[in-house]
Structure 1
C-alpha cells in the first residue's frame, strides 16, 4: 500500500495527527527532496530522498518519476510505503504523475492520499487576510476547473456551469464527517448539505 501524505507548508507542527501516525508506522517513508526531509525530521529520521526535478524537460521528469516508482514499488507491494508531499498531495503536487506510472507499470499497488494544510490556505494565515467570496487559483495551465463551496442546489448549479463549457462534476458532501458522500456527474442530487463542495471541470 502506498499513502501520499500532505505535510503542510513548511512548519513541522502543521502536520496533521493522521500524517504523523502514518509517518511513524510506515515500513519506509519517501520524500521528494531535502525540504520535505527537514519538515518530517521530528517524526522520522530515515526517509529515502527521491529526485523530483524542477525543470521544463518533460522527458527527464518522466524518467525520474519512473525511477522513483521503481524504488517505491517493492515497499508498497509488501507493506506500507508513505510518500510525503509539501502542502496537499492533490493540489499541484507530483503524486498524480507518480500514480500514472504506477497504474501503468504496477497496477496491483493500491494507493490513497491524506490531505494536508495546502499553501493556499496557509497563505491566508501567513498574510493575515480573510478570504471570502469568489477567488481564482491557477498555475497558468490551460486546464480549467472551478470549486464552489456551500452548494445547496448542486444539480441546478451544474446546469448553470454547463452553459460556460463545464462538463465534469463531482460533489463532496460532509467530507471526513459522519455521512460523507461523493457524487459523480450523473448522480448529482437536487439538494445537498451546507458542508459541501462542487468541483466542475472542462
Structure 2
C-alpha cells in the first residue's frame, strides 16, 4: 500500500493529526524535497527523493522511474507513505508517480489522505473570505468542476450532461462515519447538505 499524504502548506503546526499518526505507523516514508523532509523529520526520518522542477518531460519521467524503484519494494511488502506539500489530489505529482509504479507493480494499492491545500491556506493567509463560486487554474482551460452543497445531485448531473459533462462523483458527509461515495449513474435524487460533487467533461 502506498499512501499519498498531504503535509499542508509548510507550517509544521498545520500538519493534521491523521498525518502525524500515519507517519509514525508507516514502514517507510518518502518525501520530494527539503521542506517536506523538515516537516516529517520530527516524527520519522524520511527518504528524500529528487523531483526536479522542470518542463523537460524526459527528465521528469526518468526521475519518476528512479523514485518508483525506491518506493515500490516498501509499498509491496508493507505500508509506504509519500508525504507531499499541500494536498496530494491538487496539482501534485502523486498521481503520476502512482501511474509509473503501477506499470511494474500492478498489485500495489494506492490511496490519498488530505492535507490543507494552498487554496484554502491562501484564503486564511490573505484574509480573504470566499462566499461564492470561484475557479482555480494552473493557467490551462479546465473541463472540471467541483460543486458544494449539492442537494439534488441526480437532477444537477442531468443538466450538466447537456453541457458535455460525463464523469460524476458525489461524496456525502465526507470523513464522517456515515460517509457515502456515489459515481455516475449511482447518484441519488437527494443528498445531505454536507455534499460535494465532482464533474468532468
State how 1:1-202 maps to structure 2 within 5 Å. Answer: 1-44=1-44, 46-202=45-201
Q: Deviation per CA, 1:138-186, whole angstroms, max 9, x where unpaired?
A: 1123442001100000111112212222111111111111221111111
Q: How many residues align?
A: 201
Query: What stretches of structure 1 of length at least 5 have no aligned partner?
Result: none
TM-score (norm 2): 0.96
What displacement does 1:28 show? 1.5
- Return the alpha-carbon distance in structure 1 between the equivalents of residues 140 and 57 of structure 2: 15
* Equivalent-residue separation in structure 2 for 1:146 and 1:94 (angstroms): 20
CA distance, structure 2, for counterparts of residue 143 and residue 126 of structure 1: 26
1:148 is paired with a residue whose SS is strand
The Cα of 1:99 is off from its aligned counterpart by 0.9
TM-score for the superposition, normalised by structure 1: 0.96
Is 114-123 or 103-112 further displaced after alignment? Answer: 103-112
Distance 2:124 2:84 in 1: 20
Query: What stretches of structure 1 move > 4 A for 4+ residues in a row?
Result: none
Whole-angstrom CA distance in 2 between matches of 1:97 and 1:143: 18
Indicate the SS of the match to 2:151. Answer: coil
Distance in 2 of aligned mates of 1:177 and 1:76: 27
SS in 1 for 2:24: helix
RMSD: 1.1
